[in-house]
Amino acid sequence: MTAERRNTAALRFVLPAAAAFVLAYVLQTVLDDYVMSIVNFVGINIILAVSLNITNGMTGLFSLGHPGFMAIGGYVTAILTLPAARKAMFLPDLPAWLAGLQAPFVPALVVGGLCAAATALVIGLPVLRLKGHYLAVATMGFLIIVQVLITNWDSVTRGPLGLNGLADLTTVWQVLPWVLLTLYVSWKVKFSSLGRTMIAVREDELAAQCLGVNLFFTRVLSLALGAFFAGVAGGLWAHLVTAITPSSFSLIMAFNIVVMVVVGGSGSITGSLLAAVLFTVLTEAFRPLEEHYGLYGIGEILMALVLILILIYRPGGMLGTREPRFLVDDDG
Amino acid sequence: MLEVDDIHVYRGRTYVLKGISLRVTRGEIVALIGANGAGKTTTLRTISGLLHPRRGHIRYRPEADGPELELDRLPAEEIVRRGISHCPEGRGIFASLTVRENLLVGAYLRRDNRGIEDDYRRVCDLFPILGQRAGQAAGSLSGGEQEMLAVGRALMSRPRLLILDEPSLGLGPLVVETLFATLADINRRGVTILLVEQNAVMALELAHRAYVLETGRVTLSGSGEELAADPEVRRAYLGGA
């Protein structure tokens, strides 16, 4: 790659990133807090969809465990940022080293993400020997195990009551950099040897193996990478909603994120991003309709309908595996 | 170069290879022929580490004067690293990656970017169509072009021994002709080839030596011409009288 081309590649990222910051500033000044929180949800959903796209989309591991990783990241972040006084009140049985600890938000998010990624490495060892439907069921089992653990581990999680009154630390200035980082990392991965390998494993694992690809290593890495960003998203989510309970991270949520990836196009970063934006905005748009006419659940029904139609008429999703031409180097 | 010594292989509970022995000498083209279910593909997959023998040994000497390796316990990626490249049955191209990306996955274990680019150009010389279609999704290629891509991709790891499983599968006679001419060319450039073929006529014409497999055992072996002249082989595999 020549220096010149490297510059244009950098520009392709720097310009949209700068534009996003300007946009965030404008939105922040124009919109009220409620609409701004929706903007933040859009950002969190982008992180979720783009990171699941690494696992489900590029490597083809049908994982329903994403909310499980969010829950781990969310709880870890929440416990780390909770002031010592509140910890004494909520979680009197916390180990001493943790009870006295209060971390700033960003390091807490990073630790939350790392905990989620470490969990992915551990569960990956047994679970990633499975394929297809079996893997989906196993990751669903993982999600349920996480929920059960959180519900019963009173001394650390406060059980079914959850942790409420968390500080509202999640602003657009926290969300946006993480969105950009997620996009940047997954873009870099996709157009590297690792990303090609992931797609190769998805498309034909026997052939990939014949070429010297270590299937297991590739799969574990892609699960852990997705899990890291899911953990961070969980932390952002917890401090946006300012409360976190074991039922916050449900199978429905797993379904919703999978829908975003499938609708966007499995493997397409741009597709996941667009689908996450569309999905979040539409769900919010349906809310007044639901309340006004008492048609609760109409949003979900329409979403499911959209999914079915996409699977029938455009099974590759909006963008397939590719990215829009103007964003990609000519030699791919 | 490669010596397969009495390997016994099971796939699940099925006893597939009942003691196969064969050898490949440096610079040769060796063909395995035989009916469906004879164990040809299983033999290839055992050599490249996708399956492991229950008994028996596979010995491989990458350099003529270098040390000998035991392959039968090594994982597939270690075997690729040591210069054996396997082009699987049914091509196994990565449909949504471009032609160029497919070839680059073939060089997955290499880190010498300049060498990879050289080999990329070499593969494009060998199969000009791949160079012309470099930016196209591999899934949009025709069957013959996909096979060329699969062979080219296998060459990207710069193998000493190229293993091909049914390269002519589902291809028209003209395409097979071109493909086999290129295989002979690859062989002349110093790559040893071990191939499995249903198309016994073409295989025996191309190969220096061949083995006939029947239900998990080697029943005949000899030079390509010898086997092509053998009445048994002619009756069973060449459709001749």
> Scanning the structure block, which residue is given the tokens 């060089």?
B107
Distance of CA A79 to the CA centre of its chain: 20
Evaluate whether B160 touches B193 at the Cβ level (below 8 Å). no
Residue B85 — pLDDT band, cuts 50, 70, 90? very high
pLDDT value for A332: 39
Q: Is B94 close to A204, i.e. CB distance below 8 A?
A: yes
Task: Give pLDDT, residue A299.
Answer: 76
Please tell me the distance from the alpha carbon of residue B210 to that of residue B226, in angstroms, as a whole number.
9
Flag whether B138 is in a domain.
no
Q: Which domain holds residue B228?
A: 2-92+158-236
Of B75, B98, B108, the CB nearest to A193: B108
Which of A211, A267, A332 comes nearest B100 by C-beta? A332
B33 has pLDDT over 50: yes
Q: Do A213 and B108 touch (CB under 8 A)?
A: yes
Q: Using a CB–CB cutoff of 8 Å, tell me whether A329 touches chain B.
A: no
Chain A partners of B100 at a C-beta cutoff of 8 Å?
Answer: 331-332
**Cα dihedral across residues B147, B153, B156, B160: positive or negative:** negative
Cα B126 to its chain centre, rounded Å, is 17
CATH code (residue B21): 3.40.50.300
What is the layout of strands, in order, in the sheet containing B209-214? B84-87, B161-165, B192-197, B29-34, B209-214, B217-223
pLDDT at A187: 92
Residue A1 confidence (pLDDT) = 46
Q: Is residue B122 part of a domain?
A: no
Establish if B241 belongs to a structural domain. Answer: no
- At B240 the pLDDT is 56
Name chain B contacts of A211, Cβ cutoff 8 Å: 80, 85, 105-106, 108-109, 153-154, 157
The alpha-carbon gap from B226 to the nearest alpha carbon of chain A, in Å, equals 32
Residues B92, A267: C-beta atoms closer than 8 Å: no
Determine contact, residues A78/A166, Cβ cutoff 8 Å: yes
Lay out the sheet containing B14-24: strands in order across: B14-24, B2-11, B55-60, B69-70
Instruction: Say if B150 falls within a structural domain.
Output: no
A-B C-beta contacts closer than 8 Å:
84
Does A207 contact B134 at a Cβ distance shorter than 8 Å?
no
With a cut of 60, say whether residue B87 has pLDDT above it: yes
- Does A203 contact B134 at a Cβ distance shorter than 8 Å? no
pLDDT given at position B241: 47
Domain annotation covers residue B74: yes
Residue A319 confidence (pLDDT): 82
What value, to the nearest 5°, has the Cα angle with vertex B183 and ends B1 and B172?
A: 135
Q: What DSSP string describes B203-226? A: HHHH-SEEEEEETTEEEEEEEHHH
End-to-end CA distance of chain A, in Å? 11
**B127 band by pLDDT with thresholds 50, 70 and 90:** very high
> pLDDT tens digits, chain A, 332 residues: what are they?
455 666 666 777 888 889 999 999 998 888 888 889 999 999 999 999 999 999 999 999 999 999 999 999 999 999 999 988 888 888 888 887 888 788 999 999 999 999 999 999 999 999 998 888 899 999 999 999 999 999 999 888 888 888 988 889 988 999 999 999 999 999 999 999 999 999 999 999 999 999 999 999 999 999 999 999 999 999 999 999 999 999 889 998 998 999 899 989 888 999 999 999 998 988 888 888 778 887 777 777 887 888 888 888 888 888 888 888 777 754 43
Output the average pLDDT for chain B: 91
Among A234, A322, A276, A294, residue whose Cα is nearest residue A50: A276
B55 within domain boundaries? yes
Interface predicted TM-score (ipTM) of this complex, two decimals: 0.87
> For position B131, what pLDDT does the model report?
94
Q: Residues 213..242 of A with a Cβ closer than 8 Å to B: which?
A: 213-214
Residue B125: inside a domain: no
Domains identified in chain B, total number: 1
Burial pattern A200-214, b for ≥16 Cβ within 10 A else e, equals bbbbbbebbbbbbbb
- What band does B183 get if pLDDT is binned at 50, 70 and 90? very high
The answer to the question of residue B18 being in a domain is yes
**Nearest beta carbon to residue B80 from set A193, A212, A321:** A212
Are the beta carbons of A207 and B92 separated by less than 8 Å? yes
Contact B57, B7 (CB under 8 A): yes
Distance from CA of A4 to the nearest CA of B (A): 19
In the structure, what pLDDT confidence band is assigned to residue B91 with cuts at 50, 70 and 90? confident
Please check the confidence at residue B77 and state whether its pLDDT lies above 50. Answer: yes
